[in-house]
């Protein structure tokens, strides 16, 4: 079955709200490594109840749309569906607990051509249930590797989206942060809602072609955001306004992640994350907009 443009473009996502507690926010922050220095009071605000802050990237775990790509009417080859990039725009800081609602839709369904796959950009507009205040807009870009050429049937396809990635960095970075991920990082991160066995089951990881379970890409993304907060925002979550990165390779829990950052203008920081022991970039073309 071929990708059905109309069905994918107009798919009605479930609107289940996400409620979270202070404890949920702490678990999320611990999975990203906040609190690794137990004497750093700036980090402790994210992992204790005293004057608690919520890690700014936490909206990415709210209102998960479920495994929608398996719906038969969409015509997607879900086995070849890959999350390629993530963009988060923050409209305001999260309270330490609350309930979030989401308006989720596929903003772009674009054909790259036969054998080249299709691009789907999913947008989630997230608001506080209590007052309707917009808190974040999330854009997740996916490559449907097995679905290129679908527009040949009826001519329907959106234009390919513009590249959102940063220009390549040159010269020495302005800041470098080494993050030692916990061996149990994926076991912690899954408690925020992503229970894909690929991240915890050795047999599932082997079946997918990996030697062992891999870390959630959005966990690595959150770690990179923490590096930007530490280096350029003094851990002030309100100063991070937007962050983008492209997923280029998985991280295995327990690996050391090196985040190199360059401030290219007053409010833009470009970054790349890599696992030096494998000489592998895991996040590319990253940028953050800060105050």
- Over residues 137-148, the pLDDT tens digits come to 999 999 999 999
At residue 171, the pLDDT reads 82
At residue 196, the pLDDT reads 87
- The torsion angles phi and psi of 242, rounded to 5 degrees, stand at -160, 145
Taking residues 131-138, report their average pLDDT: 96
Tokens of 45: 């605000």
Q: What is the pLDDT of residues 51-84, one digit of tens each?
A: 899 999 999 999 988 889 999 999 999 889 999 9
At residue 279, the pLDDT reads 96
At residue 1, the pLDDT reads 76
Residue-range domains of the chain with CATH: 5-17+63-152 (3.10.129.10), 175-290 (3.10.129.10)
pTM: 0.94
Q: How confident is the model at residue 230 (pLDDT cuts 50, 70, 90)?
A: very high
Q: Are 194 and 64 in contact (CB under 8 A)?
A: yes
Calculate helix-pair angle for 22-31, 217-232, nearest 10 degrees: 90
The most confident of the ranges 93-97, 110-114, 167-171 is: 110-114
Mapping DSSP to helix (H, G, I), strand (E, B) and coil, where does residue 283 land? strand
The residue among 217, 242, 194, 13 whose CA lies nearest residue 107 is 13
In the predicted model, is pLDDT for residue 15 greater than 80? yes
Active site residues per annotation: 194, 199
């Amino acid at each position: 079955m071929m990708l059905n443009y109309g069905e994918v473009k107009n798919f009605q996502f479930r609107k289940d709200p996400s409620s979270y507690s202070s404890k949920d926010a702490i678990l999320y922050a611990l999975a990203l490594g906040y609190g690794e220095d137990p004497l750093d009071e700036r980090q402790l605000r994210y992992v204790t109840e005293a004057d608690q802050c919520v890690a700014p990237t936490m909206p990415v775990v709210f209102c998960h749309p479920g495994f929608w790509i398996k719906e038969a009417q969409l015509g997607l080859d879900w086995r070849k569906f890959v999350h390629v990039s993530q963009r988060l725009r923050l409209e305001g800081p999260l309270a330490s607990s609350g309930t979030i609602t989401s308006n989720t839709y596929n903003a772009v369904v674009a054909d790259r051509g036969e054998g080249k796959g299709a691009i789907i950009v999913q947008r989630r507009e997230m608001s506080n249930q209590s007052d309707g205040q917009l808190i974040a807009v999330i854009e997740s870009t996916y490559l449907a590797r097995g679905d290129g050429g679908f527009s040949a049937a009826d001519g329907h396809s959106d234009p390919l989206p513009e590249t959102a990635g940063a220009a390549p960095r040159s010269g020495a970075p302005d800041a470098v942060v080494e993050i030692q991920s916990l061996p149990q990082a994926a076991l912690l991160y899954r408690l925020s809602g992503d229970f894909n066995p690929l991240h915890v089951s050795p047999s599932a990881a082997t079946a997918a072609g990996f030697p062992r379970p891999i870390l959630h890409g959005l966990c690595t993304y959150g770690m990179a955001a923490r590096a930007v907060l530490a280096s350029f925002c003094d851990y002030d979550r309100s100063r991070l306004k937007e962050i983008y990165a492209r997923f280029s390779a998985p991280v295995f829990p327990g690996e050391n992640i090196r985040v190199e950052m360059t401030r290219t203008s007053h409010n833009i920081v470009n970054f790349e994350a890599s696992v030096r022991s494998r000489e592998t970039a895991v996040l590319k073309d990253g940028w953050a907009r800060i105050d």
